[in-house]
Amino acid sequence: MHLPQFICSVIRSVPVAFAMTPPLRVESPHLPGSRMTSIPLVEGNLPIRRLEISDHKKGFVELLGQLTVCPQLTESEFQVQFAEVAKLGESHCICVIEDPNTERIIATGSVFIEKKFIRGGSKVGHIEDVVVAKTARGLCLGQRMVKHLVDHAKATGCYKVVLACAPELREFYEKCGFEDKNVQMSVYF
Amino acid sequence: MHLPQFICSVIRSVPVAFAMTPPLRVESPHLPGSRMTSIPLVEGNLPIRRLEISDHKKGFVELLGQLTVCPQLTESEFQVQFAEVAKLGESHCICVIEDPNTERIIATGSVFIEKKFIRGGSKVGHIEDVVVAKTARGLCLGQRMVKHLVDHAKATGCYKVVLACAPELREFYEKCGFEDKNVQMSVYF
């Protein structure tokens, strides 16, 4: 992988559960010898945008596979799920960062907005599925992504934003401004 | 309050942050001397149903005030919020238990269903805002409500259901089948 590896305090704590390098696309525009013209990836120069339907071909699902169990979806399955999420508009915001050199998705995170009857009919943002590709760590992409999601929650009128993480990621999220508040409990079916 | 107080293992752990007795309705059907005909509240005899718009008048918002900051909503504000949640159908299920004697809401809990791209396009249920009226504790209503919400999440195809709670409620949720998994972190605006 040809991404420069910048030192960043986040490097040890980006929330990636296990690593899998996204496969190179057959139609990669980066032929041997063309790398001199690629845009260097540095902190802050990569835009964060909403998930697009074309991101299925850009390795979005494979990237999630670095976080948890995530079998590939067919184009049709992806479109169905994309449409379901898109229906919710600003209430379910999935964001990505794309490497312009490889046209691969190298970071993602989401926030969905829960409408409440408490606090005068307020809202809570729930951050989920934050992951940075193993090959793109050290660029503070995780921290930027989390900040972006927090800002989205704030802009939509949330009184707080929450997330659940493994205890070893507590330090990373503290750097993002989060405080350890409660325990998360779960039932698996 | 005339509800019988049955002994129940949940009594110490129902997730109520602080206590406030719902005010009696002016139009209460329970005139002095009529209480002999009231239906005794026992574990299992009170149906769990979806939130209805008329529950504004039945103390739903006041009950949430036993859990957290929850100023009263006007009828119009309640209707707006109700319509927002209703749009989501099975994806945001707010349930209540009503005391048939007083026609007051004495327990509530909600689960909303997040659609995921992980695990083959699966779903996660998020349980929120579980509270039992101080006056109705000891009837296992909290445990029944949580089970109902878990069953709803399972029926809608979730691969897991999660919730966040204060550490002192861990034992209660373990009795409901939950396991301590992660930490919850938050940012307040």
Q: Using one digit for the tens of pLDDT, what is the confidence trace for A102-142?
A: 999 999 999 999 999 999 889 999 999 999 999 999 999 99
Over 50: is that where the pLDDT of A18 sits? no
B64–A118 CB contact, under 8 Å: yes
Distance from CA of B80 to the nearest CA of A (A): 9
Check CB contact of A12 with chain B, cutoff 8 Å.
no
Distance from CA of A29 to the nearest CA of B (A): 27
By three-state DSSP, how is residue A188 classified? Answer: strand
Give the CA distances from residue A42 to residues A3, A45, A139, B62, B73, in Å, rounded to whole numbers and listed in that order. 9, 6, 6, 51, 48
By three-state DSSP, how is residue A142 classified? Answer: helix
The residue of chain A with its CA nearest to that of B56 is A117
Of A69, A158, A165, the CB nearest to B183: A165
Instruction: Tell me how many residue pairs between chain A and chain B have CB atoms under 8 A apart.
Output: 187
Check CB contact of A6 with chain B, cutoff 8 Å.
no
pLDDT tens for A138-179 read 999 999 999 999 999 999 999 999 999 999 999 999 999 999
Q: Over range B77-100, report the average pLDDT.
A: 94
The ipTM estimated for the assembled molecules is 0.79
Check CB contact of B18 with chain A, cutoff 8 Å.
no
pLDDT score recorded for residue A181? 84
Q: Over range B160-186, report the average pLDDT.
A: 95
Nearest-5° Cα angle at B180, B68 to B128 = 30
CB atoms within 10 A of CB B112: 22
DSSP B120-167: HH-EEEEEEEEEE-GGGTTSSHHHHHHHHHHHHHHHTTEEEEEEEE-G
Over 60: is that where the pLDDT of A4 sits? no
Distance from CA of A68 to the nearest CA of B (A): 7
Give the CA distances from residue B64 to residues A113, A161, B9, B127, in Å, rounded to whole numbers and listed in that order. 19, 19, 23, 15
Distance from CA of B38 to the nearest CA of A (A): 30
Consecutive H or E run containing B84:
helix B75-86
Give the CA distances from residue A128 to residues A15, A109, A159, B44, B180, in Å, rounded to whole numbers and listed in that order. 11, 6, 17, 36, 18
A179–B170 CB contact, under 8 Å: no
Mean pLDDT of chain B, nearest integer: 82
pTM exceeding the 0.90 threshold for the entire prediction = no
Check CB contact of B123 with chain A, cutoff 8 Å.
no
Of A115, A164, A174, the CB nearest to B164: A164
Of B119, B182, B187, the CB nearest to A184: B182
Distance from CA of B34 to the nearest CA of A (A): 33
Give the CA distances from residue A106 to residues A17, A98, A162, B141, B187, in Å, rounded to whole numbers and listed in that order. 15, 6, 23, 46, 25
